[in-house]
Amino acid sequence: MNFKFNAPPMSQAAVLYSGMAAVLFESAAERYRATAKHPVDRIQMIPLTRLVQQIPDLRK
């Protein structure tokens, strides 16, 4: 099953935490900060319900 959603580039890791997907990005690391198109220096918290809504087979 494939699905797409928009997110900043260079995700490094993702974990599940309290019904959320916590995504960490490498783009703000010192090594990449000067060349990254969109450095993200925060953990992105995405509600799992929002991700599930993007998957066609699970919306039923």
User: Which residues does 32 contact at the CB level (< 8 Å), separation at least 6?
Assistant: 10, 26, 39
pLDDT digits (tens, 9 = 90+) for 14-54: 899 999 999 999 998 999 988 988 899 999 998 988 877 77
What is the model's pLDDT at position 60?
55
Number of domains composing the chain = 1
Residues 6+ apart with CB under 8 A from 4: 54
Instruction: Determine, yes or no, domain membership for 4.
Output: no
Q: Is there a domain that residue 32 lies in?
A: yes
Q: Does residue 35 lie within any of the structural domains?
A: yes
> What pLDDT is attached to residue 43?
92
Range of the domain at 33: 11-58
Is residue 29 included in any domain, yes or no? yes
At 4 the pLDDT is 66
pTM, two decimal places: 0.70
In a domain, 23, yes or no: yes
Residue 21 counted as domain residue: yes
